[in-house]
Chain A
């Protein structure tokens, strides 16, 4: 019954609209009217805050006094900030290739295994844990106790099982502790890369691979010469997504070291300046720098995405 009545209503409107709402179809403003809700939401929750952040990044701690580029000067001269930039670079340099490489290898190899979905579920599992939770879990893994004590951390328990001295992983600055944190990130994100790359891999027509095999190409050659080039656009999108991800890295660092022992990253610094030190100007300046770093990645991502659309 509802169906019939709504149909009639629809018919009535469409008849009416020919007369009553005729102006709407011709008016150039009409489409704008339709996207107005979306655009206004975008404006108030994205554009306005971004512009405001840029604006207050030129002001002092309580946004009362204009201080020009001083906040940015601080960001580039302060030692802790420089450290954060270096560490973020380290994250990009290690985390992104590691995630994408592992994700790709697992996606391709696991395709040939009987228990594919089980393995993939297990590898994807960390994605389901909150990053804070993951940080806490891994803090236990890296836990350190004096050599005479029973080791509560798995890593040090293994080391002492083989009669090595336990190591205080998370305070071994500046390299080992950063690697430890990055490893946690890789553990979380590999599953995500794997799932996307695996979907893409499965989209490659089997005939091409069969043909190559018939032509006598071995599996490595097929991987390098066929699979990899075909997956290149997706790999690029996944990589840029991971770069954006890693520039924003916060939770893991905050939970595991809070940026102490030379593990500070940009986002954690921003959090501290904003919510701990209440320096709105500096926090905004850091946010702006982060934005400037991320925007090119987003542009690349969108371009890639469009190219893919064209291919399809």
Chain B
């Protein structure tokens, strides 16, 4: 009897807590799991404490699917991470997003964020998305000690980069370490290369046109980007192990070649996140001393050194006071300082104190990002999946595997004609 009584009491308490907590809580959907989710929780815990609002966070790698399903079912989360600006535009077109400028302090935002970020988050003059952090992709990683012992200098132009590669070949060494394998996503490494080269050979506006398929894949400018990539990637002497290794080695394992003794390769183009892979494989290496990066050099000097990247973007689906204060909190430098310190991501907010970055290497990346002549989102993420996560990826693999460029581009163009709708 007593047991039963206790149980009923407990049940009531439980229900009461539930009912009470339901009053001041918001649901947030994001991509982060594991340590990244922990970092996110750390970032929002001051917000929870201060406002007494409970943040119910769900992290899933399958964000696009889950988010679209929930939105279509009329049950969206209050606030969600969006996979990319393209998705934001899709939602905005259907009037599914809240216009953030209705309640946010726009002057403060304009003060804190570079215009690029606000433009990327706006559609038809309304602000729909805000960015909390970014990953920079246009970096070439190298081993400074190996460079200095062989007498190599960091190149600052594309010609110097190629000249350096040739010099390494003359010395009997392989300049590049490239790995395309990434399970079901194999090929994305190559699409990043093409995007970076596109940004360095055409104006950002033309890049946007390419992404939205206003210029054909058979366009000379696209072809040139592939050819420039091919100069490196198809060159048996340039890439450690040649195309066979490129196609079979996992992207996370490929930079290993830089840190063997003697090094098997000297340069590796990859985003900021590869730092954690390098440290995972070689825990004794010191960032900045044993490995470092330089921005992928400009090709057309007029275009300067643009930056390619991805960014973490938030949008609001339900207009509640709690969601409003959450959005106001995450754009603040206080929130982002916690976030970037945990993960070594780059902040989008200009007021974030550089001292909050975990090391000099991250500070350097932040500098590259802020000094970039232009910033563009990873194009393949913005294209329809049938191209951006389909024929573009496989096209890269085919190209490296020896399929003539014309055929590769014709195949991608055919799927693009069909997929943009």
Contact = CB atoms under 8 A, between A and B. Distances in A.
Interface string B386-404: 1001100010010001000
Nearest to A273: B386
A258 B248 contact: no
Contacts of A76: none
A278 B271 CA distance: 28
A143 B248 contact: yes
Contacts of A277: 384-386, 389-390, 419
B131 to A, nearest CB: 25
Contacts of A242: none
A260 interface: yes
Interface string B209-251: 0000000000000000000000000000000111011011100
A260 B241 contact: no
A171 B385 contact: no
B264 A148 contact: yes
> Which 5 residue pairs across A and B have the least CB separation, nearest first?
A146-B241, A277-B386, A168-B244, A144-B248, A258-B184
What does DSSP make chain A's interface, helix, strand, loop or mixed? loop
Interface in A239-282: 254-255, 258, 260-261, 272, 275-279
Contacts of B45: none
Nearest to B239: A146
A145 B397 contact: no
Given A275-B65, A277-B386, A279-B386, A254 B247 contact: no
A79 interface: yes
A144 B246 CA distance: 10
Task: Name, among B184, B385, B419, the residue most crowded by chain A CB atoms within 10 Å (CB to CB).
Answer: B184
Given A258-B186, A277-B386, A278-B385, A171 B244 contact: yes
B411 interface: yes
A143 B386 CA distance: 28
A144 B390 contact: no
Interface residues of A, number: 24
B245 to A, nearest CB: 5
Contacts of A255: 183
A279 B390 CA distance: 13
B248 A171 contact: yes
25 contacts: A79-B411, A143-B248, A144-B244, A144-B245, A144-B249, A145-B241, A145-B249, A146-B240, A146-B245, A149-B241, A149-B264, A168-B244, A168-B245, A168-B248, A171-B244, A171-B248, A254-B184, A258-B183, A260-B394, A261-B397, A272-B390, A276-B389, A277-B384, A278-B385, A279-B386
Task: Name, among A61, A147, A272, A277, the residue most crowded by chain B CB atoms within 10 Å (CB to CB).
Answer: A277
Contacts of B187: 260
B421 to A, nearest CB: 7
Interface residues of B, number: 25
Interface in B348-404: 384-386, 389-390, 394, 397, 401
A85 to B, nearest CB: 18
B407 to A, nearest CB: 10
B90 to A, nearest CB: 11
A276 B385 contact: yes
B397 A260 contact: yes
A170 interface: yes
B352 to A, nearest CB: 35
Contacts of B184: 254, 258
Interface in B24-65: 65
Task: Name, among B247, B248, B384, B411, the residue most crowded by chain A CB atoms within 10 Å (CB to CB).
Answer: B248
A306 interface: no
What does DSSP make chain B's interface, helix, strand, loop or mixed? helix
Given A148-B264, A258-B186, A171 B401 contact: yes
A170 B248 contact: yes
Interface of A: 61, 79, 143-149, 168, 170-171, 173, 254-255, 258, 260-261, 272, 275-279
A146 B254 CA distance: 11
Task: Name, among A144, A170, A173, the residue most crowded by chain B CB atoms within 10 Å (CB to CB).
Answer: A144
A275 B65 CA distance: 8
A11 B419 CA distance: 70
B245 A61 contact: no
A90 to B, nearest CB: 19
B188 to A, nearest CB: 12
A211 B263 CA distance: 73
Nearest to A167: B244
A61 B183 CA distance: 26
B102 to A, nearest CB: 30
A23 to B, nearest CB: 45
B390 A173 contact: no
Contacts of A149: 241, 264
A79 to B, nearest CB: 7
Contacts of A143: 248
B339 to A, nearest CB: 30
Contacts of B419: 277
A143 B245 CA distance: 10
Given A148-B264, A260-B187, A275-B65, 17 more contacts: A143-B248, A144-B248, A145-B241, A145-B245, A146-B245, A146-B264, A149-B241, A168-B248, A171-B248, A254-B184, A260-B394, A261-B401, A276-B389, A277-B386, A277-B390, A277-B419, A279-B386
Contacts of B264: 146, 148-149
Nearest to A143: B248
A274 to B, nearest CB: 11
B248 A61 contact: no
A227 B241 CA distance: 53
A143 B419 CA distance: 34
A255 B187 CA distance: 15
A168 B386 contact: no
A195 B25 CA distance: 57
A61 B421 contact: yes
Nearest to B394: A260
A281 B88 CA distance: 24
Nearest to B400: A171
B401 A173 contact: yes
Contacts of A61: 421
B305 to A, nearest CB: 32
A190 B248 CA distance: 28
B242 A146 contact: yes
Nearest to B418: A74
Contacts of A278: 385
A254 B186 CA distance: 11
Contacts of A144: 244-245, 248-249
A77 B411 CA distance: 13
Given A61-B421, A278-B385, A260 B186 contact: yes
A43 B248 CA distance: 46
